[in-house]
Structure 1
Amino acid sequence: MGETILVTGSTGFIGSRLLSLLEKEGAEIKVFLRPESAGAPISGNIGIVRGSFTDDEALAGAVRGADRIVHLAGVTKAADAAGFEAGNVMPVRNLLTAVRRHNPGLKRFLLVSSLTAAGPAKDGLSGVRESEQCNPVSAYGRSKLMAEKLCMEYAKDIPVTIIRPPAVYGPGDRDILQIFQMLAKGVLISAGRTGRQRFSMIYVDDLLEGILLAARAEKAVGELYYLTSPCSFCWDDVIAAARPVLGFRRLYNVSLPVPLVFLVGTLFGAAGALIGKSPLINRDKANELVQDYWVCSPEKAERDLGFIAGTPLEKGVAITIDWYRRKGWM
Structure 2
Amino acid sequence: MEKKILVTGASGFIGSFLVEGALERGMQVWAGVRKSSSRKYLQDSRIHFAVLDFTDSDRLASQLEEQKRQHGKWDYIIHCAGVTKCLDKADFEIGNYWATRHFIETLKRLDMLPVNFIYISSLSIFGPIREKDYSSICETDTPQPNTAYGLSKLHTEEYLKSLTNFPYVIFRPTGVYGPRERDYFLMAKSVQQHVDFAAGFKRQDITFVFVKDLVQAIYLAIEKNVTGRAYFVSDGKVYSSHTFSDLIRKELGNPWMLRFVCPLFLLKAISFVAENVGRILRKTSTLNCDKYRIMKQRNWRCDISPLEKELGYVPEYPLERGVKEIIAWYKKEGWL
TM-score calculated relative to the size of structure 1? 0.93
1:19-38 map, 5 Å: 19-37=19-37
Q: Is the 8 A contact 1:5 1:29 kept in 2?
A: yes
Q: Which residue number corresponds to residue 58 of structure 1?
A: 63
1:93-132 map, 5 Å: 93-103=101-111, 106-123=114-131, 125-132=134-141
Q: Is the 8 A contact 1:60 1:99 kept in 2?
A: no
1:169-248 map, 5 Å: 169-193=177-201, 196-218=203-225, 220-248=226-254
- 2:162 aligned to which of 150, 153, 167: 153
Q: Is the 8 A contact 1:68 1:109 kept in 2?
A: yes
Name stretches of at least 5 consecutive residues in structure 1 with no aligned partner.
none
Task: Please tell me the residue identity of whatever aligns with 1:257.
Answer: P
Whether 1:282 aligns to 2:288 is: yes
How many residues align structurally?
Answer: 327
Q: Which residue number corresponds to residue 82 of structure 1?
A: 90
Q: Is the 8 A contact 2:171 2:231 kept in 1?
A: yes
Q: Which residue number corresponds to residue 9 of structure 1?
A: 9
Q: Is the 8 A contact 1:186 1:248 kept in 2?
A: no
1:217-243, CA deviations, whole angstroms, 9 ceiling, x for partnerless residues? Answer: 33x311110011111111332244233
Task: Please tell me the residue identity of whatever aligns with 1:204.
Answer: V
Name stretches of at least 5 consecutive residues in structure 2 with no aligned partner.
none
Equivalent residue of 2:284, what SS?
coil
User: Residues 81 and 36 from structure 1, CA distance in 2 versus in 1: closer, same or farther, beyond 3 angstroms?
Assistant: same
- 1:298 aligned to which of 297, 301, 304: 304
Whether 1:133 aligns to 2:131 is: no
Whether 1:44 aligns to 2:38 is: no
User: Residues 38 and 279 from structure 1, CA distance in 2 versus in 1: closer, same or farther, beyond 3 angstroms?
Assistant: closer
* Cα distance in 1 between the residues matched to 2:17 and 2:167: 25
* Cα distance in 2 between the residues matched to 1:143 and 1:105: 23
Task: Please tell me the residue identity of whatever aligns with 1:30.
Answer: W
- In the TM superposition, residue 126 of structure 1 has moved relative to its aligned partner by 3.2
Equivalent residue of 2:150, what SS?
helix
TM-score calculated relative to the size of structure 2? 0.91
Q: Which residue number corresponds to residue 319 of structure 2?
A: 313
Deviates more, 1:276-285 or 1:26-35: 276-285
* Cα distance in 1 between the residues matched to 2:174 and 2:84: 13
Q: Is the 8 A contact 1:183 1:248 kept in 2?
A: no
- Identity percentage over the alignment? 30
Equivalent residue of 2:260, what SS?
strand
Task: Please tell me the residue identity of whatever aligns with 1:268.
Answer: A
1:193-249, CA deviations, whole angstroms, 9 ceiling, x for partnerless residues? Answer: 3x611111001111100011123333x311110011111111332244233311125
* Cα distance in 1 between the residues matched to 2:287 and 2:224: 38
* Cα distance in 1 between the residues matched to 2:261 and 2:186: 16
Equivalent residue of 2:53, what SS?
coil
- In the TM superposition, residue 104 of structure 1 has moved relative to its aligned partner by 5.2
User: Residues 97 and 189 from structure 1, CA distance in 2 versus in 1: closer, same or farther, beyond 3 angstroms?
Assistant: same
- In the TM superposition, residue 284 of structure 1 has moved relative to its aligned partner by 2.3
Q: Is the 8 A contact 1:79 1:277 kept in 2?
A: yes
User: Residues 62 and 69 from structure 1, CA distance in 2 versus in 1: closer, same or farther, beyond 3 angstroms?
Assistant: farther
User: Residues 281 and 105 from structure 1, CA distance in 2 versus in 1: closer, same or farther, beyond 3 angstroms?
Assistant: closer
* Cα distance in 2 between the residues matched to 1:325 and 1:166: 25
